Amino acid sequence: MTGRQLARVSAVGYRETVWSELYPGNRHTVNCFKPAVLEVERSLDLSRQRRKQIVWRFDSGAGSDGNYKWLLAREYQAVGKGYSGVRASAWEKYVKRWDKYRDCWLGEIDPPIDYGCPIRVFIKKRLTKEGYHYGYYVSTIKTLSKSDFMYFYDNRGGAEVEQFRGDKSGLHLQTRQKSSLLAQKGIVLLIDLAHNLLGDFHQKALANSSFHGYGNKRIIRKLLTTPGKLIFESGKLKRVELISGHENSREMLKCLKRYCQNQ
């Protein structure tokens, strides 16, 4: 989004957007992290005990020492990448053992910084044309191996694939732009509403069908365009009729029936 930054917190397993905010493009992600955590905390009414069971996964944009210490002080769990690549290059000399993981190597070191609670620090190195590139990662999860940790961290990308890209193409988030920041925030909120309605439809109607793997783009373009009509009586939906010759009509009727029964 030109000149603007969209910050979003998502519950990927439920296909829901928990919180979104639009900032000027010059506001760095590191400064968006605390407001995101606090708004999610408020929206979900997270008690201290519940916070202990929540893991925040985030990339280096939010991985400053201040954000880590603040998050852990609120008793959340964290799996994230550190902000400084220079620091990772300096710390790699403390690695005693490197293990191969996909196209890189992973090592673990004793935490060089006190974050206020027990943590694990991993170093990753990858060979590039310019030489080795290093990154470091912080985790409060104690039972994960190095490879399990990196797999868990990498899976945070599901939010970007499932929600951001799907909303850009399926709900036209990228093309619906307003010159006013407040107007654009309104567009973002409406798209969040549409996104969550589609997530509810997927959970209640499509979960056990052959459409289970569909993202928002395919749901909109392949399923919600199925030709047919809705029959209302006294303001209530009584019957759904779909064109029998359409490839999805037979199974879509079953899905719609299941969805109506779950309301």
Cα–chain center distance at 186: 21
The CATH number covering residue 12 comes to 3.90.350.10
Between 22 and 52, the higher pLDDT residue: 52
pLDDT of residue 142: 82
Tell me the per-residue pLDDT of 198-242, one tens digit each, with 9 for 90 and over: 989 999 999 889 999 898 888 998 999 999 998 999 988 888 899
Characterize 22-60 residue by residue with b for buried, 16 or more Cβ atoms within 10 angstroms of its Cβ, and e for exposed.
bbeeeeebeebbeebbebbbeeeebeeeebeebebbbbb
- The strand pairing partners of 127, in sequence order, are 132
Span 246-256, average pLDDT:
92
**Cβ distance 262 to 204 under 8 Å?**
yes
Q: How many domains does the chain have?
A: 1
Identify whether 69 is part of a domain.
Answer: yes
Tell me the per-residue pLDDT of 31-62, one tens digit each, with 9 for 90 and over: 989 998 998 899 889 999 999 999 998 889 89
Identify whether 205 is part of a domain.
Answer: no
Identify whether 194 is part of a domain.
Answer: no
pLDDT of residue 202: 92
Identify whether 15 is part of a domain.
Answer: yes
Identify whether 19 is part of a domain.
Answer: yes
Structure tokens at 140: 């409060």
Tell me the per-residue pLDDT of 112-134, one tens digit each, with 9 for 90 and over: 999 999 999 999 999 999 999 99
The residue segments making up the domain with residue 41 are 4-161
| Phi, psi dihedral angles at 6 (to 5 degrees) | -95, 120
Instruction: State the pTM of this model.
Output: 0.73
At 165, the pLDDT band (50, 70, 90 cuts) reads: low
Identify whether 167 is part of a domain.
Answer: no
CB neighbour list of residue 49: distance below 8 Å, 6 or more residues apart: none
pLDDT of residue 108: 96
* Planar angle of CA 69, 122, 11, nearest 5 degrees: 65
d(CA 200, CA 203): 5
Which helix (H) or strand (E) segment holds residue 228: the answer is strand 228-233
